[in-house]
């Protein structure tokens, strides 16, 4: 990198501690340091009486702030002018730049070339490694003359602004793509994607493939038999849902409660954590909440247990295709399709929804319904708004579904996936353009530091 001098950051930065005691009657600006090197924003304004820790640090515009815990994730940046006088806790370090040796714009360029980030990531071995102020000051940087710094910074800022504009455009396009997906799903569950199919395949009374009422009757009959045979333990009454929903659906479709098409259960009456060996290897895989992602089952972070413990978890053994739903904690309401051939088990925060009669239910259609605007509203309506939001087995059973005849469910899934393939192709092109702009920026920076 030319013959520029390499110096430690302590040559151009000084650690500053500007502590104050909070006055209960004054209003203060609080900073939010974003990760991934996205800068510093106003988090909120608060009256002093609402701030519990009375000893805080005062920021000055142009200070470089580093988050003790989030530095490894790019949690640092310059304090903007509008946050002059803002406060932060002792878990942040403030550094004052010596502008006679280095300009702010040049250091901003260094941040974007990973000079700093790579040195931070080399410290410690866990994702929670914190850094100390003195460690930051020991990092090395190339330091050319102020004239060369300005030249590099000017070239970087020109392309960085261009990239920012591209980023805004990308965000707009991704938002449009998201809305397009929702539009496809909503039209699907309203019957608009299969209008032509219904013209060619009119209602055949009594045939579950072409009559949703007959489908629900057949499932109800199967459920009644299963209860008598004690293959399921669910004595709730099966009836066609009476709802206040206003979505207009085709005449041969029906609304119904989840309880009318699914057997819903969870792990219960078992001290789960007492028997679990928290290792990422073993005999029987266990699905946890973080494995339940929309449409797919994330297999990369599964928990495993031994076969002797699996016998105690028999109630929630996964042995045939079903839906999984997270009913408490992060990602509440997320659904995924289980279609594995081997026996798996469930963690206590994941419920399974087994079709009462799988020959009449297309599970992909059911997921697409739950991901549609109507389905999301239904899920949200049933989430208990407590300190820890949750879904109970009763509320999951009470969700209203829009049910087409079985043959039409299959056609809907086929058409949704064909349309989504086109949307995915558009999204890949948008992402590719963004990646190309990133490559361009990196090439410009490399050239700047080598000329």
Q: In the prediction, which pLDDT does 83 show?
A: 96
Same domain, 244 and 138: no
Same domain, 92 and 221: no
Residue 76: inside a domain, yes or no? yes
Same domain, 214 and 104: no
Residues 153-205 have pLDDT tens digits of: 887 777 777 666 666 777 888 888 899 999 999 999 999 999 999 999 999 99
- Which one of 389, 406, 423 terminates a domain? 406
Residue 440: inside a domain, yes or no? no
- List the single range of 116-125, 351-360, 394-403 with lowest mean pLDDT: 116-125
Q: Is the pLDDT of residue 444 over 80?
A: no
Same domain, 78 and 128: yes
Same domain, 134 and 184: no
Residues 24-43 have pLDDT tens digits of: 999 999 999 998 888 999 99
How many distinct structural domains can be found in the chain? Answer: 2
pLDDT band, residue 128 (cuts 50/70/90): very low
pLDDT band, residue 216 (cuts 50/70/90): very high
Residue 68: inside a domain, yes or no? yes
Same domain, 117 and 201: no
Same domain, 318 and 393: yes
Q: Is the pLDDT of residue 10 over 90?
A: yes
Q: In the prediction, which pLDDT does 401 show?
A: 94
Query: Does pTM surpass 0.85?
Result: no
At 205, which CATH number? 3.90.220.20
Q: In the prediction, which pLDDT does 389 show?
A: 78
Residues 224-240 have pLDDT tens digits of: 888 887 777 654 544 44
Residue 311: inside a domain, yes or no? yes
Residue 436: inside a domain, yes or no? no
- Work out the average pLDDT over 265-278: 58
Residue 429: inside a domain, yes or no? no
Same domain, 392 and 322: yes
Residues 326-343 have pLDDT tens digits of: 888 667 888 999 988 888
Residue 274: inside a domain, yes or no? yes
Same domain, 106 and 243: no
Q: In the prediction, which pLDDT does 412 show?
A: 96
Which comes out higher in pLDDT, residue 210 or 302? Answer: 210
Residue 438: inside a domain, yes or no? no
Same domain, 232 and 366: yes
Same domain, 23 and 133: yes
Residues 282-305 have pLDDT tens digits of: 577 888 888 888 778 888 777 777
Same domain, 138 and 191: no
Q: In the prediction, which pLDDT does 15 show?
A: 97
State which residues form the domain around 49: 5-144
In three-state form (DSSP H/G/I as H, E/B as E, the rest C), the secondary structure along the chain is CCCCEEEEHHHCEEEECCEEECCCCCEEEEEEECCCCCCEEEEEEEEHHHCCCCEEEECCCCCEEEECCCHHHCCEEECCHHHCCCEECCCEEEEEECCCCCCHHHHHHHHHCCHHHHHHHCCCCCCCCCCCHHHHHCCEEEECCHHHHHHHHHHHHHHHHHHHHHHHHHHHHHHHHHHHHHHHHHHHHCCCCCHHHHHHCCCCCCCCCCCHHHHHHHHHHHHHHHHHCCCCCCCCCCCECCCCCCCCCCCCCEEEEHHHCEEEECCCCCCHHHHCCCCCCCCEEEECHHHECCCCECCCCCEEECHHHHHHHHHHEECCCEEEEECECCCCCCEEEECCCCCEEECCCEEEEEECCHHHCCHHHHHHHHHCHHHHHHHHHHCECCCCCECCHHHHHCCEEEECCHHHHHHHHHHHHHHHHHHHHHHHHHHHHHHHHHHHHHHHHHHHHCC
């Amino acid at each position: 990198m030319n013959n520029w001098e390499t110096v430690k950051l302590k040559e151009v930065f000084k650690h500053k501690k500007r502590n104050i005691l909070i006055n209960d009657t004054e209003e203060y600006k609080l900073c939010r340091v974003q990760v991934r090197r996205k800068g510093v924003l106003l988090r909120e304004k608060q009256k002093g009486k609402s701030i519990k820790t009375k000893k805080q640090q005062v920021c000055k515009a142009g200070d470089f702030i580093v988050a003790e815990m989030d530095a490894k994730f790019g949690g640092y940046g310059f304090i903007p002018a509008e946050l002059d006088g803002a406060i932060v806790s002792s878990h942040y370090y403030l550094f004052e730049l010596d502008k006679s040796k280095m300009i702010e714009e040049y250091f901003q360029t260094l941040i974007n070339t990973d000079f700093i980030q790579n040195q931070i990531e080399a410290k410690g071995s866990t994702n929670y490694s914190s850094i100390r102020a003195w460690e930051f000051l020991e990092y090395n940087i190339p330091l050319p003359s102020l004239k060369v710094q300005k030249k590099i910074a000017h070239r970087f800022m020109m392309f960085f602004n261009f990239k920012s504009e591209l980023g805004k455009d990308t965000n707009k396009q991704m938002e449009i793509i998201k809305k397009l997906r929702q539009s496809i799903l909503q039209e699907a569950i309203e019957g608009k994607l299969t209008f032509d199919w219904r013209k060619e395949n009119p209602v055949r009374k009594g045939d579950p493939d072409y009559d949703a009422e007959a489908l629900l009757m057949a499932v109800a009959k199967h459920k009644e038999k299963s209860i008598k045979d004690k293959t399921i333990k669910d004595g709730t009454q099966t009836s066609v849902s009476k709802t206040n929903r206003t979505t207009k659906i085709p005449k041969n479709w029906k609304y119904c409660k989840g309880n009318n098409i699914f057997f819903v259960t969870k792990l219960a009456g078992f001290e789960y954590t007492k028997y679990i060996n928290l290792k990422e290897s073993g005999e029987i895989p266990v699905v946890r909440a973080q494995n339940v992602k929309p449409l797919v089952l994330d297999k990369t972070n599964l928990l495993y247990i031994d076969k002797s413990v699996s016998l105690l978890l028999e109630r929630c053994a996964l042995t045939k295709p079903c839906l999984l739903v997270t009913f408490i904690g992060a990602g509440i309401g997320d659904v995924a399709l289980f279609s594995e051939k081997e026996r798996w088990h469930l963690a206590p925060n994941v419920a399974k929804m087994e079709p009462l009669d799988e020959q009449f239910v297309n599970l992909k259609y059911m997921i697409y319904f739950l991901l549609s605007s109507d389905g999301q509203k239904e899920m949200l309506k049933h989430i208990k708004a407590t300190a820890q939001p949750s879904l109970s087995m009763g509320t999951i059973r009470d969700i209203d579904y829009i049910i087409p005849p079985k043959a039409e469910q299959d056609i809907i899934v086929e058409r949704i996936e064909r349309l989504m393939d086109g949307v995915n192709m558009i999204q890949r092109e948008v992402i590719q353009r963004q990646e190309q702009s990133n490559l361009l920026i990196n090439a410009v920076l490399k050239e700047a530091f080598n000329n």
